[in-house]
Amino acid sequence: MSKVLETRLEIDLKALEYNFNFLKSNLSPKTKMMGVVKAFAYGTDSIIIGKQLVKLGAEHLAVAYIEEGVRLREAGVQVPILVFYPQLEEIHNLIDYQLTPSVYTHRFLEGLCKELPHHEVNEIGIHLKINTGLNRLGFELTELDSILNHLEVEPKIKVAGVFSHLAASGNTNEIEFTKAQINKFTEAKTFFETHLEYNFLCHICNSSGILNFPEAEFDMVRAGIALYGYGNNPTEHKLLKAVASLKTVIAQLRTIEKGESVGYERKFKAEHTTKIATLPLGYADGISRIFGNGKARVLVNGKKAPIIGNVCMDTLMVDVTGIDCKEGDEVEVFGKNNTVIDFDIEQQTIPYEVITRISQRVTRVLV
């Protein structure tokens, strides 16, 4: 429960459904959807969102870490769950909870081979991650033969999927680079189709990939930020609906005169008589200090109000001069009427960062 009940993150499942169906409408009917619910479902609620995505038709879910997958399993989620960054010390939980690891190093593959004999399992599926240009994680194309050697050593390990990650699928200036990534991935796909005697899933498209590179949908796509209402460019943003709305109330109003200051370090100094509203929300709730001093705007009774002075740990102040408002009035920090793009007026960061930073002390509410 949050420190102030009026401060809440509203989760709109209808908006989630709209985004899910919109993305599905861009795909072939046979293409599977993997819903990405890592980082508390991009700062919302991974259990609520995960269950709803399965209800909507997501055949797979994805998380960052094993602990996140365990939480979903214990909540009753039964669809395959891909773990992007499995840790060696938690392999036992991965196996016991029937989670699917993303495997991108020989080190993890060797660790999995050593752990399997300690468990009564007939088979474990893995998704092999191939580096095609993001240069973050993944096997190189030159390592594919060596992967087969590991698979021969431990026949219980089966390749359930082969995937990669697009680096710039939302950037119109990088179309050729993205196409080159898709071609490299196709090369890896062909290699494993040639050497494995069973079928497996192939996936490379993220949210922007779904919208911009339909030729690369393969067997499955991974929908992340788009499910929550945002894309990687203005065109994509307009196609989607915000799922999360951060709301609070005006805790106190005051009027200050010319020359008076607001907040720590006196970063704001009034140039004229100014009406100030203090909101019970601060950087401990996820509203970073970078948004202080006029760098972001909230919505007060339908009017834009800039954040002034430095953001505090538990509070922030906004300039409501000329806005008809009173203590207790609702404020939309970001959401349907004041999107993250509208809130972050200087585009200092990306929607991913803003929504995933909302701390767990802010109450989540379904609407």
92-106 pLDDT, tens per residue? 999 999 999 999 999
Q: Is 313 annotated as a binding residue?
A: yes
Residue 5: what pLDDT? 58
Quote the CA–CA distance of 340 and 351 in Å, as a whole number. Answer: 6
What are the angstrom distances between the C-alpha of 100 and each of 104, 163, 363? Answer: 13, 13, 31
**DSSP conformation class of 136:** S
Q: How far is CA 118 from the centre of its chain?
A: 34
Per-residue pLDDT of the chain in tens (367 residues, 90 and over written 9): 444 458 999 999 999 999 999 999 999 999 999 999 999 999 999 999 999 999 999 999 999 999 999 999 999 999 999 999 999 999 999 999 999 999 999 999 999 988 998 888 889 999 999 999 999 999 999 999 999 988 988 889 999 999 999 999 999 999 999 999 999 999 999 999 999 999 999 999 999 999 999 999 999 999 999 999 998 888 888 899 999 999 999 999 999 999 999 999 999 999 999 999 999 999 999 999 999 999 999 999 999 999 999 999 999 999 999 999 999 999 999 999 999 999 999 999 999 999 999 999 999 999 8
* Residue 38 annotated among the catalytic residues of the structure: yes
* Residues ≥6 apart with Cβ < 8 Å to 63: 36, 37, 38, 46, 69, 72, 81, 82, 83, 84
Assess contact for 217 and 201: CB atoms under 8 A.
no
Catalytic residue among 55, 179, 258, 264: 264
AA letter at 13? L
Selection from 268, 320, 315 nearest residue 294 by Cα: 268
pTM of the model: 0.94
Assess contact for 279 and 250: CB atoms under 8 A.
yes
Neighbours of 58 (CB within 10 A): 23
What are the angstrom distances between the C-alpha of 197 and each of 68, 159, 193, 357? Answer: 32, 10, 8, 44
Long-range contacts of 319-325 (CB under 8 A, 24+ apart): 319/274, 319/275, 319/276, 320/250, 320/253, 320/275, 320/276, 320/277, 321/273, 321/274, 321/275, 322/275, 323/275, 325/250, 325/253, 325/277, 325/300, 325/301
Selection from 264, 273, 293, 278 nearest residue 331 by Cα: 278
What are the angstrom distances between the C-alpha of 265 and each of 47, 260, 262, 310, 312? Answer: 41, 12, 8, 8, 11
Q: Is 222 annotated as a binding residue?
A: no
Quote the CA–CA distance of 24 and 211 in Å, as a whole number. Answer: 10
Catalytic residue among 38, 189, 247, 295: 38
Collapsed DSSP state (helix, strand, coil) of residue 160: strand
Quote the CA–CA distance of 293 and 262 in Å, as a whole number. Answer: 10
**DSSP conformation class of 44:** S
Token pair listed for 177: 């680079």
Quote the CA–CA distance of 362 and 367 in Å, as a whole number. Answer: 15
**Domains along the chain?**
31-238 (3.20.20.10), 244-366 (2.40.37.10)
Place of tokens 């908006």: 15
Neighbours of 108 (CB within 10 A): 18
Token pair listed for 101: 């690891």
Quote the CA–CA distance of 362 and 11 in Å, as a whole number. Answer: 12
* Segment 200-218, tens digit of pLDDT: 999 999 999 999 999 999 9
Q: How far is CA 95 from the centre of its chain?
A: 25
* Residue 264 annotated among the catalytic residues of the structure: yes
Place of tokens 């680079």: 177
275 burial type by CB count under 10 A (0-12 exposed, 13-18 middle, 19+ buried): middle
